[in-house]
Amino acid sequence: MTNHVIILPLIVNLLFSIILMFFWRNINFQKLFSVIGNAIGLGVAIYVFTHVYQNGTQVVEAGNWEAPFGIVFVGDMLAATLVLLTAISGLAVSIFSSISVINARLRFGYFSVFQFLLLGLNGAFLTGDIFNLYVWFEIIIISSFVLISIGGEKNQLEGAVKYFALNFFASMIFLTALGVLYGLAGTLNMADLAGKVQSIENRTLVDVCAVLFLVGFGIKSAIFPLYFWLPASYHTPPSAVSAIFAGLLTKVGVYALIRVFSMIFEIDVFLQNLLIGLGILTIFSGGIGALTHTNIRKVFSYLIICHIGFMIGGLGLFTKVALTGVVFYLIHDIIVKTNLFLIAGVIYRIKATTNMNKIGGLYANYPKLSLLMAIPLFSLVGVPPLSGFWPKLSLILASFSEAQYWYFGALIFGSFITLFIIARLWSKAFWKDQPEFKRERKFIYFYELRPFQKLQFIMPIMLLTFVSLYIGFGANHIQELSVRIAEEITNKDLYIKAVLNP
């Protein structure tokens, strides 16, 4: 009996994107089926997660070709967790897009492409072959190009050009690195590479290759100094699209960095200093960038960059405690960042703008909604016992015990600046009185919506907030999970054994 469990998420995503393509013109059908598809996807992801949690790393050899020769799909704990988080964010965003994205955009096959994006993400997490990773990355970026440019407004197209140019360039660098790696090691299977790269004599070329991977994934995960495309493009598409981008697209870069630098390349002193240095600079540039802006979505874009720095620095430390923190932070960050952009979408629907200076009085008008929004905002800051607090604790402990005081300082700085920015946002958008309000014509405001439509706006936020609260209050479960994942990352023999001797 072969075990197909871990490829089920891919099959569900592909199946639903094909079904949605057949009903290209029927938007109401697409809305319904997209939500159903993502709900089934979530169910399957939970099943995959529990299966991997109970039975350990699962391997599927596509086409029944044996491991180092064929393409393998590997579901270890890290991959299964990320697939689960993708499914949660995917469900939330698909509910949110069915109401917030206008029909003129949905007519261009929005939901079908959205399923392809999720397919690419799941594939990237599950694959055990580095060239296959490239292919999934391309599926992700092609889908994201379509999603970011759908609608064709002025600043959207401009953002799309910038996003396209840098992401395509990143793919080319990734492909170059792949070519060099294949030339050196003669294999593409990650488990096989783990053993073979160690025995290559030409260490300089291996280092060059490692840095090429760092640059390629660095552009995708928006680390310093390669992040400029992110704040130029993430605020331009509809909020639902930015939400899925913010939650998952940069994180898949971080995932790839974790995978490549734990499996294939050893983190030596040079790489350690490089990663920690980049992490510190990313925290600083993201935090300071966020201070200078007043558009809420732009502020959140810079905060994405700032918090990527936490994870990159933690990866650089590469101790078990640090990796626990990184994984926990990844789990927390995917949910919270998706939620933040959904919140920005709701604020836009209420006020017709996302400029902090032009809005106010949210708390006075919508007290319950504001309290709901407060939870993810303060989870992001890391107010104990909400979800952002626990991973920072691990990261700070690790940086202290490794005597990386600069990184320690940057972590504190990043947390403070996040606190300051969120407090400023709270006081400006929620507590301040509404400044002069000009009612825009032809804009459907939030209070004009029917109750069911309001629910469609609020439900995804409630879902994600609930998950955030679980991560915060059930932190011992997540911590256990993160420790287990960190163990699997540091002890790569488990992965190699699962792939090469099934």
What residues line the site for another protein (CB under 8 A)? 1-2, 4, 7, 11, 14-15, 17-18, 21-22, 24, 60-64, 73, 131, 135, 138, 141-142, 145-146, 149, 152-155, 157-162, 164-165, 168-169, 172, 175-176, 178-180, 182-183, 188, 232-233, 235-236, 293-295, 298, 355
Least distance from another protein to the Cβ atom of residue 214, Å: 17
Closest C-alpha to 496, from 188, 172, 263: 263
- The tokens for 78 are 């890290």
Q: Could you tell me if 338 and 407 are in contact, meaning their C-beta atoms sit under 8 angstroms apart?
A: no
What is the secondary structure of 151-177 as a DSSP string?
Answer: T--HHHHHHHHHHHHHHHHHHHHHHHH
Complex with another protein: residue 272 or 353, whichever CB lies closer: 353
Which residues fall within 8 angstroms of residue 50, CB to CB, at 6 or more apart? none
Q: Which residue has the tokens 């799309």?
A: 160
Least distance from another protein to the Cβ atom of residue 6, Å: 10
Closest C-alpha to 345, from 464, 221, 223, 250: 464
Least distance from another protein to the Cβ atom of residue 400, Å: 38
Q: How far is the C-alpha of 212 from the C-alpha of 195, rounded, in Å?
A: 20
Least distance from another protein to the Cβ atom of residue 363, Å: 24
Complex with another protein: residue 296 or 489, whichever CB lies closer: 296
Least distance from another protein to the Cβ atom of residue 150, Å: 11
Least distance from another protein to the Cβ atom of residue 469, Å: 33
Least distance from another protein to the Cβ atom of residue 240, Å: 19
Complex with another protein: residue 174 or 255, whichever CB lies closer: 174
Beta strands in 28-130 (DSSP E): 58-61, 72-75
Least distance from another protein to the Cβ atom of residue 236, Å: 6
Least distance from another protein to the Cβ atom of residue 131, Å: 6
Return phi, psi of residue 150, to 5°. Answer: -65, 130
Complex with another protein: residue 164 or 400, whichever CB lies closer: 164
Q: How far is the C-alpha of 491 from the C-alpha of 486, rounded, in Å?
A: 8
Q: How far is the C-alpha of 112 from the C-alpha of 118, rounded, in Å?
A: 10
Least distance from another protein to the Cβ atom of residue 235, Å: 8
Q: Could you tell me if 34 and 98 are in contact, meaning their C-beta atoms sit under 8 angstroms apart?
A: yes
Q: How far is the C-alpha of 92 from the C-alpha of 186, rounded, in Å?
A: 42
Least distance from another protein to the Cβ atom of residue 292, Å: 8
Complex with another protein: residue 292 or 476, whichever CB lies closer: 292
- The tokens for 95 are 């509910």
Least distance from another protein to the Cβ atom of residue 111, Å: 13
Q: How far is the C-alpha of 166 from the C-alpha of 164, rounded, in Å?
A: 6
Complex with another protein: residue 295 or 319, whichever CB lies closer: 295
What is the 8-class DSSP label of residue 355? Answer: B
Q: Which long-range contacts (CB under 8 A, 24 or more apart) does 296-299 make?
A: 296/344, 296/347, 296/354, 296/355, 296/356, 296/425, 296/429, 297/234, 297/235, 297/239, 297/242, 297/341, 297/344, 297/354, 298/231, 298/235, 299/356, 299/421, 299/425
Which residues fall within 8 angstroms of residue 15, CB to CB, at 6 or more apart? 37
- Cis bond before residue 460 (omega within 30° of 0): no
Complex with another protein: residue 11 or 444, whichever CB lies closer: 11
Complex with another protein: residue 146 or 486, whichever CB lies closer: 146
Q: Could you tell me if 23 and 34 are in contact, meaning their C-beta atoms sit under 8 angstroms apart?
A: no
Which residues fall within 8 angstroms of residue 475, CB to CB, at 6 or more apart? 385, 387, 390
Complex with another protein: residue 127 or 479, whichever CB lies closer: 127
Least distance from another protein to the Cβ atom of residue 423, Å: 20
Closest C-alpha to 75, from 90, 56, 54, 47: 56
Using alpha carbons, list the distances in angstroms from residue 234 to 241, 257, 354: 9, 22, 13
Complex with another protein: residue 62 or 469, whichever CB lies closer: 62
